[in-house]
Structure 1
Amino acid sequence: MAAKAREAKLDLIKKHIKVFPDFPSKGVLFRDICPLLKDPLALTAVTDLLEEHVRLTHPEVDLIVGLDARGFLFGPLLAQRLGVGFVVIRKKGKLPGPTVSVSYTLEYGQAEVEVQEDAVYPGQKVLLIDDLLATGGTLYAACELMKKKQADLLGCMVVIELKDLRGFERVKPISVFSLVQY
């Protein structure tokens, strides 16, 4: 994709990310992707740019793995474009059948994420996807879960990265690709 077309798509995406000050609490500047999802051209732009990134950097990918819940919005679209499978990582207790889980620490306590036991096999090449990278807690847990499953974790992708919160440091040495940074 030409640089000019890429920039036009990024501008369209940025235009469709709505900002809500003091949500969910005072001092937080919330970046809402709902307007982006509502606009078919903006959603196509996200999928196009993620697909381009994967085809250029990770053409060997076997699975796109989406994080609960907004990774579920972008992951299946990307997986379908790439002709690969899609797997979900959910909060504890949301998946049927045998699961594998990892617990992690959040600012306000403990949480746990899980994947179905047979969803990812050792050696499968996977990419993680979510809508937002902030402090990196959930993405870190997802990386740990993929390590536990002995997957070959190629990298992480997000639509929005809040650079000041330095979440990318939490998942090092795994690379993080973000479309939009604030």
Structure 2
Amino acid sequence: MTELTDITDLLLSRIRDVPDHPEPGVVFKDITPLLADPVAFSALTDAFAGIAERTGATKIVGLEARGFILGAPVAVRARLGFIPVRKAGKLPGATLSQAYDLEYGSAEIEVHAEDLSAQDRVLIVDDVLATGGTAEASIQLIRRAGAEVVGAAVLMELGFLAGRPRLEAALNGAPLEALLTV
């Protein structure tokens, strides 16, 4: 088996399907068993740190909330700064915000205005790529802060929701890497 197959099998074996959560008909992909397994979590962290190195990232941006759990150890492993992108109203001090549309409504995310600069090369880390709306908004926010987005990395892509084309367009040539596609 190749290294990629080994990590794929390991990660898939640690993600639990939860039927009918949060509503009937939805199968939720629970990553808590993966987080509880130090071998699997370390392999995931190493894979993301490798992506950060390949893209020349200087900062990791984690999207609320599971992107914090995944992105922070990646930043530590890669010896990079970590920047949280949060839901509006959660960060103290001066922030930049970006509104975006959801399937049934809208939302807003924020970042501290002083946390990113023109010298920063940012890799976005999150757990899931679904429709791509939150990640697309984070790209706009990071660019408004003056930083360069050098890529996005997700644990899993929900291929049936077709978020990849939207996110690839927003990334404008920067790579999008999904370790798993379900």
TM-score bracket relative to the smaller structure: over 0.9
Does the residue aligned with 2:127 lie in a helix, a strand or coil?
strand
User: Does the alignment pair 1:179 with 2:175?
Assistant: no
Tell me how far 1:48 sits from its aligned partner. Answer: 1.6
Root mean square deviation, CA, Å: 1.2
Amino acid across the alignment from 1:176:
L
Does the residue aligned with 2:40 lie in a helix, a strand or coil?
helix
* 2:17 aligned residue: 19
Residues 87-102 of structure 1 aligned to structure 2 (within 5 Å): 87-102=83-98
Tell me how far 1:150 sits from its aligned partner. Answer: 1.8
Tell me how far 1:142 sits from its aligned partner. Answer: 0.6
Tell me how far 1:5 sits from its aligned partner. Answer: 2.9
Tell me how far 1:75 sits from its aligned partner. Answer: 0.8
Query: Is the contact between residue 51 and residue 153 of structure 2 (CA under 8 Å) also seen in structure 1?
Result: no
Q: How many residues are treated as equivalent by the alignment?
A: 178
State the 4+ residue runs in structure 1 displaced beyond 6 angstroms.
Answer: none
Q: Between the two proteins, what is the percent identity of the paired residues?
A: 40
Does the residue aligned with 1:172 lie in a helix, a strand or coil?
helix
In the aligned structure 1, how far is the partner of 2:50 from the partner of 2:85? 24
Does the residue aligned with 1:13 lie in a helix, a strand or coil?
helix
Query: Is the contact between residue 6 and residue 49 of structure 1 (CA under 8 Å) also seen in structure 2?
Result: no
Amino acid across the alignment from 2:64:
D
* 1:50 aligned residue: 48
Query: Is the contact between residue 121 and residue 150 of structure 1 (CA under 8 Å) also seen in structure 2?
Result: yes
In the aligned structure 1, how far is the partner of 2:46 from the partner of 2:5? 12
Query: Is the contact between residue 64 and residue 126 of structure 1 (CA under 8 Å) also seen in structure 2?
Result: yes
Residues 1-182 of structure 1 aligned to structure 2 (within 5 Å): 4-55=2-53, 57-58=54-55, 60-173=56-169, 174=171, 175-182=175-182
In the aligned structure 1, how far is the partner of 2:150 from the partner of 2:8? 23
Amino acid across the alignment from 1:179:
L
Residue segments in structure 1 that go unaligned for 5+ positions in a row: none
Residue segments in structure 2 that go unaligned for 5+ positions in a row: none
Query: Is the contact between residue 143 and residue 171 of structure 1 (CA under 8 Å) also seen in structure 2?
Result: no
Tell me how far 1:6 sits from its aligned partner. Answer: 3.0
In the aligned structure 2, how far is the partner of 1:35 from the partner of 1:133? 19
Tell me how far 1:54 sits from its aligned partner. Answer: 2.7
